[in-house]
Structure 1
Amino acid sequence: MIRNQTTIKQVTHRTIRAFKERTLTTDELEMIKEVASQTATSMFMQQTSILHITDRSKRDKIRQITNQEYVGKNGDLFIFIADLYRNQQIRQQLGKDDGRLHKTDIFMQAMQDTVLRVQNVVNAVESMDLGAVILGSINNDPFALLDVLELPPLTYPILGLQVGQADQQPQLKPRLPIEFTFFENTYQRQVDVKQMSDYDQLVQTYYDLRAANRRIDSFTKQITSQKLNCHKTKRDDLWRAIQSQGLCRD
């Protein structure tokens, strides 16, 4: 198996949720900006932007939305945005209409660009011996988030990212065995939950630092838990929030 400095960092990735009381240095921040800007982009449309949230009030409000006390507490907080607004302005100022900018296809391209940018930045952060946590929880209340961020039309916040100097050493969280997630040519439709028993036992030995060092449920119990049961949450407003920004109107 090929091992180098990069792949070792990747296969030993740990999510960090506790950061020391320091912000990024100028050099660290500039490297993050450069790495983000060089991330692959669909059709060279470059339909993504980043908000660096340094305003304490905004950080507090985002923390309330996520319902995660570590969000915005220490380290640096970034919001990664699918951004079609910039290209709309270019088209309009050059005498063109919005074209396909309101189509789901174009939003999906922007979202993919944005997610790639997040992972690229995480790789860079970890290469600098810093830690990171990706924050899907920013969309726990989509309309509240849009209000906090004061975003223009044709933009939407996809993920948050908090980075900084790690102040914890979490365990390596066990992932599904490769045979359940990697297939050659044809998707393997036969899923036998009994074959996941060993993995379930492994997961149950993992301590999740978000729950005060308590062990977590097995993987299959998590999949059959309230997480995926039918229940109303503010995340159900995601589609309406996206469309309220003029996106996915087809």
Structure 2
Amino acid sequence: MYINPLIDQMLNHRSYREFKDLAVEEEKIQALLEVARHTATSVGLQWASLIRVKDPEKKRALAYIGHQDYIARAPEVWVFVADGYRNAKIAEEKGAPSPYAWDVNFFAQALTDAALMAQNVMVALESMDLGGVFLGSILNDPDRLVEVLDLPQGTFPVLGMLFGYPDQAPQKKPRMDMAFRTFVDGYEDRSPYLKALADYDEEMQTYYDLRDANRRVDCFSDQVVKKIGTMNLKRNRLTKVAKDQGFHLYEEGPDPSVKA
């Protein structure tokens, strides 16, 4: 397999949740912001923004939402946001308010932009001897998150991230073979899966997640059963919260005769 320094860095990605009591230098922060700025964006409209959470009270609020105390201790806490507000305001200021500004098409573009920005920032920070972790847990209570971050209509939080100088040495988490996730010209049903994934199930049970370092994790297939078999009521409000934030998440889109 072809390897260069960047690929080697990416293949050795780990999730860090505990950090040294050291601030990240401002020159590194500015470099990461430039990486975020230059991330690819759908139709050039730059639908993603980020919020750098510095207020200790807001950090604690995010830690409470995510049920993860270490969020409050992290040197850097960033939240990547799907942002349709800015473009809607630009159109409004140009005298051309649009009923389509926050439709499902642009919502999907904004979600993609925010996710791409977050991944680019993670790759960049790891090249600086920093470490981090993505935070899907900030969406455990999306209503409260919108309130904590003062998010206006036309915006939606997508993903959080912690980073700093690592103060732990986590294992690299095993991944299943790409033979189960790579197809040619169309999706292929590779079932039955349990027998084929038996080795991966066994490998997963050798992994220690430092969030609960005293026990090994469940095998992958058991994790699937546990996680998709449990309903998270607040996370199931994500579509409702997106609608409350002004996005038109319905099939036909807004009536073009109705002004935004």
2:238 equivalent to 1:238: yes
Q: Is the 8 A contact 2:132 2:162 kept in 1?
A: yes
Q: Deviations over 1:90-120 (max 9, x none)?
A: 0000101124212111100010000000000
Q: Is the 8 A contact 1:203 1:216 kept in 2?
A: yes
Q: Distance in 1 between matches of 2:74 and 2:231?
A: 33
Q: Deviations over 1:38-73 (max 9, x none)?
A: 000000010111100000110000100000111131
2:233 equivalent to 1:203: no
2:133 equivalent to 1:133: yes
Q: Distance in 2 between matches of 1:99 and 1:5?
A: 47
SS in 1 for 2:197: helix
Question: Which residue is equivalent to 1:223?
Answer: 224
Task: Sort the Cα spacing of 1:232 and 1:32 in 2 relative to 1 into closer, same or farther, 3 A.
Answer: closer
Q: Is the 8 A contact 2:180 2:190 kept in 1?
A: no
Task: Sort the Cα spacing of 1:230 and 1:131 in 2 relative to 1 into closer, same or farther, 3 A.
Answer: closer
Unaligned runs of 5+ in 1: none
Q: Distance in 2 between matches of 1:97 and 1:208?
A: 49
Question: Which residue is equivalent to 1:107?
Answer: 107
Q: Distance in 2 between matches of 1:105 and 1:72?
A: 35
Question: Which residue is equivalent to 2:34?
Answer: 34
Note the 1:25-174 alignment, pairs <5 A. 25-174=25-174
Q: Distance in 2 between matches of 1:94 and 1:187?
A: 44
Q: Is the 8 A contact 1:23 1:74 kept in 2?
A: no
SS in 2 for 1:159: strand
Q: Distance in 2 between matches of 1:186 and 1:150?
A: 42
Q: Is the 8 A contact 1:16 1:168 kept in 2?
A: yes
Question: Which residue is equivalent to 1:14?
Answer: 14
Task: Sort the Cα spacing of 1:194 and 1:166 in 2 relative to 1 into closer, same or farther, 3 A.
Answer: same
CA RMSD of aligned residues (A): 1.1
2:197 equivalent to 1:183: no
Q: Distance in 2 between matches of 1:232 and 1:6?
A: 37
Percent of aligned positions with the same letter in both sequences?
39
Q: 1:230: Cα distance to partner?
A: 4.5
Q: Distance in 2 between matches of 1:10 and 1:56?
A: 31
SS in 2 for 1:224: helix
Q: Distance in 2 between matches of 1:4 and 1:35?
A: 20
Q: 1:232: Cα distance to partner?
A: 4.6
Q: Is the 8 A contact 2:65 2:140 kept in 1?
A: yes
Which letter does structure 2 place at the counterpart of 1:110?
A
SS in 1 for 2:33: helix
User: Normalising to structure 2: TM-score of the pair?
Assistant: 0.93
Q: Is the 8 A contact 1:22 1:74 kept in 2?
A: no
Task: Tell me which stretches of 4 or more aligned residues in structure 1 moved more than 6 Å.
Answer: none
Unaligned runs of 5+ in 2: 254-260
Q: Distance in 2 between matches of 1:158 and 1:232?
A: 17
User: Normalising to structure 1: TM-score of the pair?
Assistant: 0.97
SS in 2 for 1:238: helix
SS in 2 for 1:80: strand
After superposing the two structures, state which structure 1 stretch, 104-113 or 91-100, moved more.
91-100
Q: Distance in 1 between matches of 2:146 and 2:180?
A: 37
Question: Which residue is equivalent to 2:258?
Answer: none
